[in-house]
Amino acid sequence: MNDQESNLEPEDDSAPVQEPRLWKGNGWTARVIKNDDDEGWAVAMFKDGEPEPALVGPWTMGRDKKNPKPLDVNAFNTLIKTASEVIRRHEQHLHAMLHKSLYVWTEGSGELKVTLDIKPDDDDPYAILTATDQMSEQVAQVRVAASFKLTPGTATAWIENDFKAPRS
């Protein structure tokens, strides 16, 4: 293939872009946009493949006080770090909302770990209630309503009821 033919190949979408208002690289896109709420500017950070921005925040005005300050490598790297942290915190919060656990002492089985794993679903949300012993062996598991509240009292009642599915 000669040099002319190689120029006809399609552009690589994963190639870095470094423009004053648009940077792409490392799995992220930063886009400086007009802030609709006021006369300033904002920056939106998109993770590759995601339709919604992970982070939107104010952006610094340039020296002329009309146009935005151009993106640069340091700003882009800081934005990646900040947006990644936002995503990580969101994932941690979601995990904490969907996965709960506690320990209950029982006369017959000793200490049991009781976990509640909520399975969100638009049509049929539910949760799995599981008891495991000190050797991490599953003792019991039942399906419960997604609204089931795991507390020491509800866990103890479930255990004392021979692990029968609690009523919603």
For residue 5, give both structure tokens: 């033919």
H-helix segments, 41-102:
73-98
CA distance 134 to 103: 10
pLDDT given for residue 10 in this prediction: 35
CA distance 44 to 52: 9
Domain spans, the chain: 13-97, 107-160
For residue 160, give both structure tokens: 């004392």
The phi, psi pair for 55, rounded to 5°, reads: -155, 135
pLDDT given for residue 31 in this prediction: 97
pTM (two decimals): 0.68
The 10s digit of each residue's pLDDT in 57-79 is 999 998 888 899 999 999 999 99
What distance lies between CA 58 and its chain's CA centroid? Answer: 22
**In the chain, which residues have pLDDT < 50?**
1-12
